[in-house]
Amino acid sequence: MFKKLVSLTFSIILISYFNQIQTEAVAFSISNIFGNTETTKVIDYSDPDFKVTKPYVSINHSFNIEKVVITPDGKYALSAGGDYDIKLWDIKTGKNIRTFVGHTRSIISIKIISNGKHILSGSYDSTMKLWDIRTGKLIKTFNGHSRVLTGISVMKDDTYAFSVGASDINKKLQGEVIYWNLKTGKKLRKYNISLEGLNNVQIDANDKYFFVNAPGHKIKMVNIETGEENKIFSGHTNHVGYIKIFNDNKQLLTGSSDGSIKIWDIDNAEAVQTLEGHKSRITDMVLLKDNEELLSLSIDGIILWDLESGKQIKEFKRDRGEYGHCLALYPNENYALLGVNEKLYKLDINNDTNYGKELNIAMVNPAIVRSVGFSPDNRSVIVSNRSVFGRDNKRIYAGLVYTMDSGLFGNIKKYKDLQGEVLITKDMKYILSTSLYKILLSDIKSGKKIKEFIGHTNSITSITTNSDGRYLISASDDMTIKLWDIKSGKIIDSFIVDTKKDSSSIDTLKVSSDDKYLVSVSSDKNIKLWDIKTAKEINTRIYSHNIRSIDITTDNKYVIVAGWNNNIDILDLKTFKFIKSFKGHTNYLYHIQISSDNKYLFSASNDRTIKQWDIQSGELIKTFKGHSSGVKGFDLSGNGEYLISYDKGGVIKYWSIKEAKELLSIISFEDGSSISITPEGYFDTTASGTKHLNILTNTMEISTIDQYYEIFYRPDIVSESISGINENFNYAYKESSLELKAKPIIKTVKAKSEQMPRLKISEIKPAQKVAIIDTKENIDKEELKVTLKITPNSGGIGQIRLYLDDVLIKTDGDRGLKKAQDKNIVLKTYTIKLTKGKHSIKAIVYNEQNTMASSEEILAVISTYNPIIKPNIYAVVVGINEYKNPSIALKYAVDDAKLFAKTIKQRTKHLYGEVDIRLLTSKDATSKENITKALKDMQNISPNDLFIFFVASHGMIEEARYHMITSNVGALSSRGIKKEAINQETLRDLIANIPTTKKFIILDTCNSGKLGKTLEVAFLTRGLTETTAMKVLSRAVGSTIISASSSSQEALEGYNGHGLLTYVLADGLNGKADADNDGYIKTLEIANFVEDRVPEIAEKVFKRAQYPYISPLGQGFPLVKIK
């Protein structure tokens, strides 16, 4: 009775209240009315000028988070830190919405003002900045501090603010407190007063006083109007890092590096309570429960305090390697956000005992890149990367070689134990890499270690080779430089550093082009010139600052040095006499390199740019902008056309030097996934890489790439970007539109630009919202009725997709949709069949243009229905030799189909019940009409049955869609193909509507026979490769697909009377693919066998390349029994 009364009372209160106010002003939850009186604000983040963004990669900060705040509505968080950026996060999903870029040093303070619409930030770069939270745009910069800015505080009306700068007592430099008008950007007053080190500032609730650090670990209270120092709060024994006024301006809360927390009475300036429990400095604190409790964060952990008793309520232990720097309280006060290293953690205050969980567990860090470099032939790029320490305290090292002319993911080789600097030998046979005290020589083809260079007694810091690649030179923390013979692995000579004069490690080496001189740089700012022949030191110069990189001009006249003073200096090589400086970077430099023609110098800086300079004149020629963190290194291609760079965040970028244009970004993550993405948003990715991609569909709303996958998943464009093979293929992202245009390479074939896909992303209409309703979650029958409630956002409804256990089982258009009582809602009910067990049903609905998908709606269902019958196997097997157009006839397709059908029939007798194989090989049976009918006949099989679809024929790409060429195809024009062949969407829907989740598809239809030359032109002029089409089809259907070859290759025929793919497939199904020797050939086993065996035979027998496309998606299951 009480529950009903409460419910009724709550409803009356809510109805009455909302009749009186506008709902956009305030929103209540039950907890607001019963107990928690704090309201959650509703903030209008709308922007009339907003346009849907291109896809972007969501990544964490690249350095420690120093500050985190939560918006007043509790929906979003802002974090800032040592990477100079502010990031906006969706708290519910943990996804990064946008990044605010503009500061040039660490950000130490952020405030949310203007009712949640603006951000005020303060940085060590001496500036304060005002930002629009909805757009990420910088509104205003406040300049005025002569030293680093260390704290900011805002008055209650958000019109005025105070900022404080660092002081230096030893240099007798007073601190600065500046009073700002935020609307005009003007300084109202500057207070020059004695402060202590890195200072904080806090304004009282009445806007009459500010509190700031004072010498001697004290806090002083200053009158804003007069500037008089009213009171001093003394008692801490180390620097005070946290200041807050609370309890109606009556008390002051401070946290110190001495590990103590003090509460002060402001009237008499005395400490009334000291909380002792932390052993290290206090980094942040928040008050909760009407100031009755305190959550304090220190380097050593988190403590929840009862302020009335001064006792600890509970302690939250940190794991090894977790260092908390800041925290923010959720509006409901049940949770807090922690800035732990470079990630955000969500802390459940009531239930957690440690630091909680990462806000977005699925969001992993990019692997740290140690070096990048082009191979001598410019066809490959080698990358050395590693992970950071995780909770398992393990560090992973890896190396990747990207083969440029195969596309990014066309041919990647992975190497273990590449820990530091990596070089490819001049003969392209070996990789040299550092591994602690050793140097490894590995075979570039196999990745196997050939030999180790052992001789150093401490970590190796740098390696290089001489001009002809015969000798290796290495530097180490053992204070020696060694010259090695690469062939023998023996030490030829050692360059001994005088440790009485120099005691720091050697960081960098460079050999002159005539192999006479060696220049070394050490961390104690020494630059040395050595005679390589005698291993003797010739000259030394002590520099004014740390040097990070050096290079020698090819004429061996000058050495160029760069480092911590933001400038690049040219010195005489032999005398080290200063010649001139190049100035233009705004932060310290990481790397420099001279072009092979000795005309240009390239430099990479922590200011996130790469610059190209004219060496002779010192003129700045180009600036390469695009990195989101400091650029740590790069390499120039030998032909001078391309540049590859990497930054502190682990992002690799590939550039055209001529245009200073970014062509591609490459990111490898700690979980092994990888993404390559063009500036226009087209991407290629490993299977798990899509989780890192997002699209901003409103100012503060993120959609996953799944909703746009079939638009932006374009490995073909990625491959063109990185290989530069087809200079006539152009794509552009202009004025929020995507345009694909192509010019034919072969003059006899003329492609029309109107054939190419053209899409304005800003005009994409939102997808509909879908919910699964009135559907049972537990059934004891085979059939289940699934009802979808579809709420249109704009326009009509496009395709509807229903997945069972991630396999597409139903597709539908908008015909026959039942209108609900609400005219804006439509209903659709489907009947599906389930086997015994737990199942996942997923629904997706597209917009009218089928260009954007809805968010997934997922329902878990348990079925207890268990018929005691063997599953059946059904197959549609197609082989087409004869076509209406006789010029494209094939020789082995029919034999391939018969061999496959025979193999399946023989090997499935005792594994399945009924074996029903529809073999279609005659010209009449293999028409579009009859193949379609055969597939539709399969739509009544049981969900426990197995379905196989095999096709040996031609395949073609037309208007960015795969088409299966059927026997009725005559004309090979665009119009003819579209009219007579089976297109990608039709094939997808036919396969999708076969109700089983066990589907296996073999399409031996790639670029074969006499159609090959025609297809080769089509691939270059029609904008989509067959490999891409197969990947999109496989992902849409959710089933394993094997396709004969990649798009640029012919499917080889004539191997033992069959096509190569089919022969290998049959060979594997007859027993050779049984990798685990259990007597069954499973889908993954046959896929792996085909992937390994086809290229091997193609190279050995045909001296040609053929790499089948394998997509092992959907359910894995046994295909045949061999024992």
Boundary-marking domain end, from 358, 380, 396: 358
Residue 201's pLDDT band, with cuts at 50, 70 and 90, is very high
Range with lowest mean pLDDT among 309-313, 457-461, 666-670: 666-670
Helix (H) / strand (E) element for 717: namely helix 715-723
For residue 770, what is the DSSP state?
E
Phi, psi dihedrals of residue 13, rounded to the nearest 5°:
-60, -45
Q: Which residue range is the domain that position 251 belongs to?
A: 56-137+211-358
Contact 839, 863 (CB under 8 A): yes
The 8-class DSSP code of residue 1100 comes to I
Q: Is the dihedral of CA 916, 921, 925, 927 positive or negative?
A: positive
Instruction: Using CB atoms within 10 Å of the CB of residue 173, give its burial: 0 to 12 exposed, 13 to 18 middle, 19+ buried.
Output: middle
| Residue pair 301/317 in contact by the 8 Å Cβ criterion | yes
pLDDT in tens, 493-530: 999 877 666 667 788 899 999 999 999 998 888 899 99
Query: Does 945 lie in the same domain as 967?
Result: yes
CATH of the domain at 800: 2.60.40.10
3-class SS at 114?
Answer: helix
Give the pLDDT score at 762.
Answer: 60
pLDDT beyond 90 at 750: no
User: Residue 55's pLDDT is what?
Assistant: 86
pLDDT of 464 strictly over 60: yes
pLDDT digits (tens, 9 = 90+) for 940-970: 898 888 899 999 888 877 766 778 899 999 9
- Distances 219 to 224, 251, 259, 270, 463 between C-alpha atoms, Å: 15, 13, 16, 11, 52
pLDDT digits (tens, 9 = 90+) for 122-147: 999 999 999 999 999 999 999 999 88
pLDDT class for 408, splitting at 50, 70, 90? very low
Residues 118 and 244 in one domain: yes
For the record, the structure tokens of 398 come out as: 């890896």
372 has pLDDT over 90: no
Lowest mean pLDDT among 61-70, 193-202, 745-754, 879-888: 745-754
At 912 the pLDDT is: 85
For residues 167 and 195, is the Cβ–Cβ distance under 8 A? yes
Task: Among 358, 377, 393, identify where a domain stops.
Answer: 358
| 597-609: average pLDDT | 94
Cβ atoms of residues 174 and 165 within 8 Å: no
In whole angstroms, give the CA distance from residue 343 to residue 345.
7
Burial level of 589, CB count in 10 A (0-12/13-18/19+)? buried
- pLDDT over 90 for what percent of the chain? 43
Same domain, 943 and 981: yes
Which of the residue ranges 280-289, 800-809, 995-1004 has the most confident prediction, judged by mean pLDDT?
280-289
Verify that 846 and 945 share a domain, yes or no.
no
Contacts 24+ apart (CB under 8 A), 311-317: 312/277, 314/353, 315/277, 316/347, 316/352, 316/353, 316/354, 316/355, 316/356, 317/353, 317/354, 317/355
In a shared domain, residues 859 and 880: no
Ranking 186-195, 597-606, 685-694 by mean pLDDT, the lowest is: 685-694
969 in a structural domain: yes
Residues 779 and 878 in one domain: no
| pLDDT at 422 exceeding the cut of 80 | no
| Residue 127: predicted pLDDT | 95
Give Cβ neighbours of residue 471 (< 8 Å, ≥ 6 apart). Answer: 465, 483, 484, 485, 486, 492
Determine which of 115-124, 403-412, 682-691, 811-820 has the lowest per-residue pLDDT on average.
Answer: 403-412
* Pairing state between β 506-511 and 517-522: antiparallel
Encode pLDDT of 319-353 as tens digits.
877 788 999 999 999 999 999 988 899 999 999 98
Per-position b or e across 951-974, b if 16+ CB within 10 A of its CB:
bbbbbbbbbbbbbbbbbbbeebee
Q: Is residue 916 part of a domain?
A: yes
pLDDT band at 307 (very low <50, low <70, confident <90, very high): very high
- At residue 429 the predicted structure's pLDDT band, cuts being 50, 70 and 90, is confident
| Structure tokens belonging to residue 697 | 């569909």
pLDDT at 291: 93
**Lowest-pLDDT choice from 783-792, 900-909, 955-964:** 955-964
Q: Of all residues in the chain, what percent carry a pLDDT higher than 70?
A: 81
- DSSP-derived secondary structure letter, 83: T
Decide if 469 is inside a domain: no
Q: For residues 885 and 970, is the Cβ–Cβ distance under 8 A?
A: yes
SS3 633: strand
The CATH code of the domain that includes 1007 is 3.40.50.1460
Confidence class for position 1114, pLDDT limits 50, 70, 90: low
Same structural domain, 856 and 879: no
Tokens representing 159? 């019109």
Burial group, residue 632, by CB count within 10 angstroms (0-12, 13-18, 19+):
buried
Q: What distances in angstroms separate CA 845 from CA 598, 686, 859, one per listed residue?
A: 58, 25, 15
pLDDT band, very low/low/confident/very high, at 178 (cuts 50, 70, 90): very high
Q: Give a yes or no: residue 1025 inside a domain.
A: yes
For the chain, how many structural domains are there in total? Answer: 4
Instruction: Give me the pLDDT at residue 1028, please.
Output: 57
Query: Are 1083 and 1027 in a shared domain?
Result: yes
Give domain status of residue 629, yes or no: no
| 1096 SS3 class | helix
* Closest listed residue to residue 268, CA positions, set 219, 232, 236, 214: 232
| Candidate from 163-177, 656-670, 765-779, 825-839 with smallest mean pLDDT | 163-177
E strand or H helix at 17: helix 2-18
What does the pLDDT average to over 392-400? Answer: 39
Coil, strand or helix: which one is 494? strand
User: Which residue is associated with the tokens 């409803």?
Assistant: 11
Residues 126 and 34 in one domain: no
Residue 913 lies in a domain: yes
The token pair at 975 is 């119009």
Same structural domain for residues 840 and 893? no
- DSSP-derived pairing of the beta strands 693-698 and 56-57: antiparallel
* Same domain, yes or no: 933 and 799: no
CA–CA dist 107, 100 (Å, integer)? 11
SS3 content of the chain, % helix, strand, coil (to 5): 15, 45, 40
Distance CA 224, CA 743 (A): 69
Q: Please state the rounded mean pLDDT for residues 743-759.
A: 32
Q: Enter the tokens of residue 983.
A: 């297109």
Domain identity same for 978 and 922? yes
CA-to-CA separations, 812 to 346, 472, 737, 845, in angstroms, rounded: 41, 65, 29, 9
Does residue 970 belong to any structural domain of this protein?
Answer: yes
What does pLDDT average to over the chain?
81
Looking at the domain assignment, is residue 187 inside a domain?
A: no
Average pLDDT (212-234) is 93
Residue 284 maps to which CATH number?
2.130.10.10
The CA-atom distances, in angstroms, between 1037 and each of 397, 830, 843, 981 are 36, 18, 13, 20
> Which positions ≥6 away from 608 have C-beta within 8 Å?
625, 627, 628, 629, 630, 631, 647
